[in-house]
Amino acid sequence: MEEILPCHCLTDHPLRLNFYDQAHLAELVASIKATGLLEPLLVRPVDRGYQVLSGHYRLRAVRQLKWSEVPCRVYPCDERTAKLLYCTANLTTRTLSALEEAWLLKDLVENESFSFARAGDLFGRSKSWVCRRLKLLSDLDPRVKEEVALGRLKPRLAQELTRLPQGNEQLAALAVIKEQHLSKEEVARLVAGWPLFHEQPALAVARRLWHCTRLLEEVLNILRRQKRPFNWWPAEPYRFFLGSLNRLSTLLTEGGEGLAPDFPGAVKQKGL
């Protein structure tokens, strides 16, 4: 049943996080201003008005446009059905964040007796996906979780951080991720090797190693595009590169001090 309802009578679903992509919201405001609201909100009656099941962005948009009323499709239902509708309706509009999915999955498993497999089926996902989403709630440091909620850290990167202890280690790894703009594969390698260099003095070395690794990958990509055998090679930089590799190998395997390069014009230095 469709009705025109006062905006002040509408409240958010309790599982809805108070975060909105401002760019998307601005686009929606402009669209509604130009063409009107083409799709009514989906709501259900509650004690003190109506609870929004789908259309939270649309409600924010019409409030910005100073609308006092908004068209709604009213669907009376119980709490359990409301959760299922909230999930399925928002999946079609792609407005659920990773943490909202996680909270909804947690509620379905703990309060509605859903198995992981059944909860995953509801989202068209696997049991392992459900486990990874739930880890965002249970294993992430609250400050890292806030980065995910605000859209500043992608869920697939956050999932890798759940393998580290909460607290300083996750936060230090997060700093490296943001500073170096690491991909998911790079974050996975960072986390896998974290026990070797998570202490603060070694963290600076780790950052430089990650930077060097990324540069080497760029060089490899350039070489892959060249015809073989190569008819060129930057001789002096290549010799310096080989000398650096020798010094690094000595430091890592023997614990010795840095070796001086064996060609003229190079600067002697100890360590890295």
- Residue finishing a domain among 65, 95, 125: 95
User: Does a structural domain hold residue 115?
Assistant: no
User: Does a structural domain hold residue 89?
Assistant: yes
Q: What is the pLDDT of residues 183-202, one digit of tens each?
A: 888 888 888 877 765 555 55
Range among 142-146, 238-242, 251-255 rated most confident: 142-146
pLDDT for position 202: 57
Q: Mapped to the 3 state alphabet, what secondary structure does the chain carry?
A: CEEEEEHHHEECCCCCCCCCCHHHHHHHHHHHHHHCCCCCEEEEEECCEEEEEECHHHHHHHHHCCCCEEEEEECCCCHHHHHHHHHHHHHHHCCCCHHHHHHHHHHHHHHCCCCHHHHHHHHCCCHHHHHHHHHHHHCCCHHHHHHHHCCCCCHHHHHHHCCCCCCHHHHHHHHHHHHHCCCHHHHHHHHHCHHHHCCHHHHHHHHHHHHHHHHHHHHHHHHHCCCCCCCCCCHHHHHHHHHHHHHHHHHHHHCCCCCCCCCCCCCCCCCC
69 — pLDDT class (breaks 50, 70, 90): very high
Higher pLDDT, 230 or 141: 141
The domain that contains 45 carries what CATH number?
A: 3.90.1530.10
pLDDT exceeds 60 at position 228: yes
Higher pLDDT, 108 or 231: 108
Ranking 10-24, 129-143, 144-158 by mean pLDDT, the lowest is: 10-24
- Residue finishing a domain among 95, 125, 158: 95
User: Does a structural domain hold residue 150?
Assistant: no
252 — pLDDT class (breaks 50, 70, 90): low
User: Does a structural domain hold residue 30?
Assistant: yes
User: Does a structural domain hold residue 226?
Assistant: no
pLDDT exceeds 60 at position 205: yes
pLDDT exceeds 90 at position 8: yes
The domain of 263 spans 234-272
User: Does a structural domain hold residue 22?
Assistant: yes
User: Does a structural domain hold residue 127?
Assistant: no
Ranking 60-64, 98-102, 132-136, 157-161 by mean pLDDT, the lowest is: 98-102
Total domains in the fold of the chain: 2
User: Does a structural domain hold residue 261?
Assistant: yes
Ranking 9-18, 66-75, 83-92 by mean pLDDT, the lowest is: 83-92
Q: What is the pLDDT of residues 90-101, one digit of tens each?
A: 666 656 778 888
pLDDT for position 206: 64
